[in-house]
Chains A and B, each alone.
Chain A
Amino acid sequence: MKLNLHIWRQKDKNAAGQMKTYTLDGVEESMSFLEMLDLLNEQLIAAKDEPVNFDHDCREGICGACSLVINGTAHGPQEAVTTCQLHMRSFKGQSDIYIEPWRAKAFPVVKDLVVDRSAFDRIIQAGGFISVNAGGVVDANTFLISKNDADKAMDAAACIGCGACVAQCKNASAMLFVGAKVTHLASLPQGQVEKKERVLRMVKTMQDEGFGNCTNTLDCEAVCPKSIGVSHIAKLHREFLAASLTTTSNS
């Protein structure tokens, strides 16, 4: 395959970036998308050019590091995969590919295609945890959890925090991410104690970080590599409305 790659280049956080076009020959259909970018970078390095910076780690769809908007879709055209799991055979017959970073005020570009997603970490720090007494390990199965609740919590816990939901949402809303985290813990007995404060604090942090708000377009669930559905956002709405209407503390 011979490709025209249109890639966002930005020197650092404060520099103005722009789209630059590169021609790349010798791409094979069996290559992963990131291997294709590795090939480009080898050529750029050989030519003493600055390689294209992009995030990646596990390259097997579990860590949530890779993050590219490809031809206008987060993680590219294939459903339920991360960018690292995408292969060039998905681009058969195409010659132009546009590659951009996640775009959101809360995810500032660090360099080229790398964005700073620490806003997600701060949301987790605000409430995405449970408090337990340290000490001896509790016996397995001490807490009885119904299959239904366990399934619900596991579905939500599949979130790898990649941020594709924010990238695709026309409002750069983080509600699918926050919804998954809230549902995960609110479905389990261990999560009950801090249930109300959790949702209030996480929503507040989400707002303060500058994320937008859900308008129910469903684009987030369409690009989620773990197929997390917007029913988690509905759950977030229920949890938040109940907690905010019944809590008087200012936590």
Chain B
Amino acid sequence: MQRTFSSPIGMKAVMAVTGLAMVGFLIAHLAGNLLVFAGPEALSAYARGLRKIEGILWVMRSGLILSVFLHIASGIRLSLLNQRARPQKYAVKKRVKSTFAASYMLLSGLVILSFICFHLAHLTFRLTHPEFAALDPFDIYQMMMISFKSPVLCLFYSVSILLLMLHLNHGIASLFQSLGIWHGNINKFVQVLGAFLSFALGIGFLSIPTAIFFNLVQ
């Protein structure tokens, strides 16, 4: 065990499993959030419904918090090892098959981290908008309406989501390779899946602040 997880291959496996768990969360989170297009009642009912399964919710939350922590810790540790492996840089260096997304995983990851912190302060702990206090605590719809009328907030959310899309564009396909699933035709399927899923998640999340900002949500 110790030998597995102290080695880079073990750490990569941890990144892959925790990354997959976070992708699972993102899919569920997006599905819930898209209810904003179904109107205020649907969204509040969803928020209330979640409260009813508080027990299960806490199990899932703990898993998610642990995943975020392990993912970031392994990511930073591996990135440091990798930087140390080439102390002298090339004067000229080309990417051959490597993508833009694959080259900036640590950077996109760190922006996502800062976004996660802000996002929690914004809609979970509600520290950024004093006017939320006057609302019903389950009136997520109204909170979104107030928030995304601000161009600055919209821009920050959009940039973060675009970087998440970039991170997942490499990350989803990469996690299969890290777990040793890359042979025959599976790799082509995995690459298509990664491109599709990252794109779908990105567009889905982007649609919410964009639609609210341009008054497209009733």
Contacts and interface: CB of A to CB of B under 8 A. Distances in A.
Contacts of B144: none
Contact of B13 (A216, A230, A237): A237
Interface stretch (B32-40, B52-60, B78-86, B197-205): B78-86
A212 B13 CA distance: 16
Contact of A217 (B94, B97, B179): B97
A234 B95 CA distance: 21
Nearest to A19: B91
B13 A172 contact: no
A45 interface: no
Contacts of B82: 170-173, 212-213, 215
A171 B11 CA distance: 15
Interface range for A: 35 or more
Contacts of A168: 96
Interface in A217-249: 217-219, 221-223, 230-231, 233-238, 240-241, 244-245, 247
Interface string B79-110: 00111111111111111111100110100000
A237 B84 contact: no
A105 B96 contact: no
Interface centre among A6, A213, A221, A245, by most B CB within 10 Å? A213
Interface in B3-52: 3-4, 7-13
B182 interface: yes
A230 B173 CA distance: 13
Contact of A100 (B90, B98, B99): B90
B9 A203 contact: yes
A244 B9 CA distance: 10
Contacts of A223: 96
A199 B216 CA distance: 57
B94 A216 contact: no
Interface of B: 1, 3-4, 7-13, 78, 81-99, 102-103, 105, 170, 173-174, 177-183, 187
